[in-house]
């Protein structure tokens, strides 16, 4: 199995970041209790987010079953969130999808139990 190591130089330019720091700062400031953020902290957070995007994409893609995969799909992400410890915090925003009919069926089953 190939190493999943993420390295700084693989994102565009290791001196800078691709994601706009001003936008990252906006998100950070929306967090309660945060007063101010020093420039290095902002840089690191932006860089870490890029590394995270790479890591999430790679992990999710690798988890696809052994068959030939040419597409990264939503379900790959949802599976990765459920199965990988470090992605547990994403479980609520990457829920697994179920078919509508399965959901309706499970609702019916719950209804039956209550009637008893």
CA atoms within 13 A on the CB side of 68: 1
Least CB distance to another protein at residue 41 (A): 4
Nearer to another protein, 22 or 114 (CB): 22
# chain residues binding another protein, by CB under 8 A: 63
Spatial contact of 73 and 101, defined as CB atoms under 8 Å apart: no
Nearer to another protein, 85 or 115 (CB): 85
CA distance 111 to 116: 9
Taking the least distance from each CB to another protein, the nearer of 52 and 107 is: 52
- The residues in 16-75 that bind another protein, with binding defined as CB under 8 A, are 16, 18-28, 30-31, 33-41, 43-45, 47-58, 60-61, 69-74
Spatial distance between the Cα atoms of 10 and 93, rounded to a whole number of angstroms = 27
Structure tokens at 91: 């479980």
């Amino acid at each position: 199995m190939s190493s999943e190591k993420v390295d700084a130089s693989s994102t565009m330019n290791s001196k800078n970041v691709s994601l706009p720091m001003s936008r990252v700062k906006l998100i950070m400031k929306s967090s309660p209790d945060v007063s101010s953020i020093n420039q290095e902290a902002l840089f690191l957070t932006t860089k870490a987010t890029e590394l995270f995007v790479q890591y999430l994409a790679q992990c999710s893609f690798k988890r696809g079953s052994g068959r030939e995969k040419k597409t990264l799909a939503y379900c790959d992400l949802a599976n990765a969130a459920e199965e990988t410890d470090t992605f547990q915090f994403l479980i609520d925003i990457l829920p697994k999808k179920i078919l509508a009919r399965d959901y309706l069926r499970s609702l019916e089953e719950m209804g039956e139990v209550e009637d008893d």
